Structure 1
Amino acid sequence: MSETIAALLKEGRHFPPPEEFVAQANVSDPSVYDRANRDPVGFWSEWANRLDWFEPWQNALEWEPPYAKWFTGGKLNACYNCVDRHVLNGKGDRVALIWEGEPGEVVSWTYAELQAKVCQIANALKQIGVKKGEIVCLYMPMVPEIVAAMLACARIGAPHSVVFAGFSADSLRDRINDAKAVAVLTADGGWRRGKVLPLKQVVDEALAETPSVRNVIVLERLGEEHLTVEYKEGRDLRWSEIVDRQPTECPCEPMDSEDLLFTLYTSGST
């Protein structure tokens, strides 16, 4: 090993954040690190108690190296903790999401509005037969609906797999097949630096070799004035027809603490 490589394997420099950044941190007490090192199980149990659980856990940690299981026996739902509990605690009218996209639209959703949209997507997924444990692929542009879609999957216990909307049909196909995704949520297209991305076209190419996919739900992001897409009968559904007409209530599925929430594939360079 050369001296240069050996030197790069060691890093002793420190890069402290600016004081004004530290001042606005949610956790600013340095002793938090000491407590975490001294009693990691007790420390994380304390933080876990800040979540809402449908059923309490029996063991905070089951550790059989190299395998670990956290909060075994406990049941909760990530969507409930991200959205519902804030609505139930009287914060439904507070802003949960602000989005600005191309070519300049601005969308603001309160927690109550986000909850309603999440429930509509969750009900749509249930209508097309998505069940607990089945994976849903999200190949969407940077729009607020993708946030609602991730939460909707968590709500019904269906792990989601986000695939970057800049990936090719081959990359999308490989990720769908590896996950055995049963449904794809996408858009007709998207904007990226002023250019139109034909997302539905990419999905169509990928699905030529993805036998596990039963349905595709397409968000009309651009509309026919910008992009014409094809819909395969019996497989493809318009967002406006399957999602927007759904009721705005959907119960949360109680999930085991170790249940899969999502899969996220590396691009190979990250």
Structure 2
Amino acid sequence: MTAPSTGTNPWLRRYHAAGADSVSLVCFPHAGGSAGYFHPFSAALAPEVGVVAVQYPGRQDRYAEPPFEDLGELAEAIHQQLAALSGPLAFFGHSMGASVAFEVARLRELGGAGAPLMLFASGRRAPGTRRPGPVGPLDDAAVLAQMKGLGGAHTGLLENPELAELVLPAARSDYRAVAGYTCPPGTVIHSPITVLTGADDPLTTADEADAWRHHTTGPCTVHTFPGGHFFLEPESGAVLATVSGILARLGT
């Protein structure tokens, strides 16, 4: 893997160079995930699109930093870091990352920085939807069980107790942040929203994906792909074609 270009900013990672006039696609990882998850996105989309992957504290080279347990506070911290970026921005968030991306987009609008060109909300039900039952798995065994059950490229690593122990602190905090997140009814952004969802994702039904349309004043479209929660991996070609096609039509 190509070493990321981070400069002095530990939050934002660029893995490939992009054109001077290209849009920056800011990518927000899932719970327990890291910036490196989006390295394949960066390789496939450069140089027309410059992927900027967000590295949350508490993982990989930021392992010594305490992870956030409040999604709103995490979004505020990322919002401040994005002030260093210039040019047009679009957001892509998967799972927990979609909620973080939505909150960062909202903060940008409130702060006068302008709405992202597009919010790609992947693998996550709309912010205003609620499910009955427990708020979420917070103990280590439950967190590991759900992460394994959702599949994805990381699943094999979780079978190794030593590697799982490295992942757990950040994952535990991420799950708590997701469990404690609430979105007031009627909360909207002005960015158009493109929803990407897996047909067999246990965490997002078709209705929950469609409900994103209630959180934008602009258009909202839903694209359904074969697969479960981590459909991004087996369907990477189709997902990337969808993302790059939409960005191209936006004039970027």
TM-score (norm. length: structure 1): 0.32
If the length of structure 2 is used for normalisation, what is the TM-score?
A: 0.34
Greater CA radius of gyration, 1 or 2?
Answer: 1
- Report the structure, 1 or 2, having the larger strand content: 1
Larger % of helix: which? Answer: 2
